[in-house]
Amino acid sequence: MRIAVVGCGAVGSFYGAKLARAGHEVHFLLRSDYETVRRQGVLVRSPDGDFEVQPRCAQGPKEIGPAELVLIGLKTTANDQFAKLLPPLAGPATVVVTLQNGLGNEEQLAPFFPAEQIMGGLCFVCLNRVAPGVIQHLGYGQVVLGEFQRPPDRRTHDLAACFREAGVPCAVTENLERAHWEKLVWNIPFNGLGVASAAGFEAFIQHFPESGPSTLNPQPPTPSECLTTDKLLADVRWARLARELMLEVIAAARALGYDVSDALADQQIERTRTMGPYKASTLIDFERGQPLELQSLFHEPLRQAIRAGVAMPRLATLCRVLKDLKRSNPLTG
């Protein structure tokens, strides 16, 4: 299969490398890492075994041309680049799969492609890009594929089989939106609280509406103040808040018509305990001074919940804290 990977950070590079190792013609659309990857390829360090691949490298989409499959690994903060990056990669039979976090990404593809060309992929994986062309895979790796605004069909299952043949566990969901909400049960607390911990628990609590107006310390937090997943769960206050956030997300999902059980919260917490000292992607972006995916991961779920008549005071507070931290950090503000 001729595959184009747009957004070659940790997620795009990892899955693109897996598909390249399986023998597919994989093209990486690169910016800052272009020279390094062109010379050295991509190295994946993994408990499953290290491996290297040499993908085909391009700096512009026209160098690649139409592909059979386009994988989008961009941060959602770069979705305004869709109009420039994607049309040269797509023909009438191209399948465009967004592997991005949060809500609304498939909808942002809809102006450029018919709905039947759009799919979503949810990645359940622990990994980081530790250097140009170097990906550290810590564990997991499953992808869940779903069709945009329609149930799965034969091509959905064919693409899942393609991932599995490349060594990627892959399942198919009957309802992509429900699967997005199920993933948010983990993403919202652990991406959000990892960054919010830079403000301290007391500052977070002071942002609750009943606590009255509050501002954070204007001094930018240092990365050492941010908590990894194991430290969040080791502190009973943060752990309780994480679970309460999960239950808010589950309540919103149910109000929107998605059958998500409260038991998912405890399942996700126990799963997270096995990850060790993991830094979620939003925390890494915060420490590096990169744009934060606030809209897709936090604001859009809150907007949809409010529209469905569900109060989410903890998520609303988290949104305020993250906004203030972003503004107070000179690297991200």
| Whether residue 247 sits in one domain with residue 147 | no
Q: Quick one: 223 and 260 in the same domain?
A: yes
Same-domain status, 82 and 132: yes
Residues 292 and 155 in one domain: no
Asked if residue 333 is part of any domain, the answer here is: no
What does the pLDDT read at residue 217? 44
pTM for the structure as a whole: 0.91
**What's the chain look like in SS3?**
CEEEEECCCHHHHHHHHHHHHCCCEEEEECCCCHHHHHHHCEEEECCCCCEEECCEEECCHHHHCCEEEEEECCCHHHHHHHHHHCHHHEEEEEEEEECCCCCCHHHHHCCCCCHHHEEEEEEEEEEEEEECCEEEEEEEEEEEEEECCCCCCHHHHHHHHHHHHCCCCEEECCCHHHHHHHHHHHHHHHHHHHHHCCCCHHHHHHCCHHHCCCCCCCCCCCHHHCCCHHHHHHCHHHHHHHHHHHHHHHHHHHHCCCCCCCHHHHHHHHHHHCCCCCCCHHHHHHHHCCCCCHHHHHHHHHHHHHHCCCCCHHHHHHHHHHHHHHHHCCCCC
CATH classification at residue 136:
3.40.50.720
Strands 42-45 and 134-147: parallel
Same domain, 29 and 168: yes
The reported pLDDT for the residue numbered 329 is 65
pLDDT along the chain (333 residues), means of 10: 97 98 98 96 97 98 98 97 97 97 97 97 95 96 97 97 98 98 98 94 78 41 71 95 97 97 97 93 92 96 97 94 80 49
Does 139 lie in the same domain as 187?
Answer: no
Identify which of 205, 265, 210, 206 has the alpha carbon closest to the alpha carbon of residue 233: 265
Please state the φ and ψ torsions of residue 27, each to the nearest 5 degrees. -110, 130
Check whether residue 212 and residue 283 sit in a common domain: yes
Last residue of a domain, one of 115, 143, 174: 174
pLDDT confidence of residue 209: 64
Residues 148 and 208 in one domain: no
Q: Which of 18, 62, 84, 183 is catalytic?
A: 183
Q: Examine the domain organization and report whether 153 and 192 are in the same domain.
A: no
What pLDDT sits at residue 210?
55
Q: 238 and 95, same structural domain?
A: no
Same domain, 110 and 23: yes
Final residue before a domain boundary, out of 118, 148, 174: 174
Write down the pLDDT at residue 327.
80
What is the pLDDT, as a whole number, of residue 163?
A: 98
- For residues 326 and 332, the answer to whether their CB atoms sit within 8 Å is yes
Find the domain containing 21 and state its range: 2-174
Catalytic annotation on 75? no
User: Quick one: 168 and 102 in the same domain?
Assistant: yes
Number of domains in the chain: 2
pLDDT score for 331:
52
Give me the CATH number covering residue 224. 1.10.1040.10
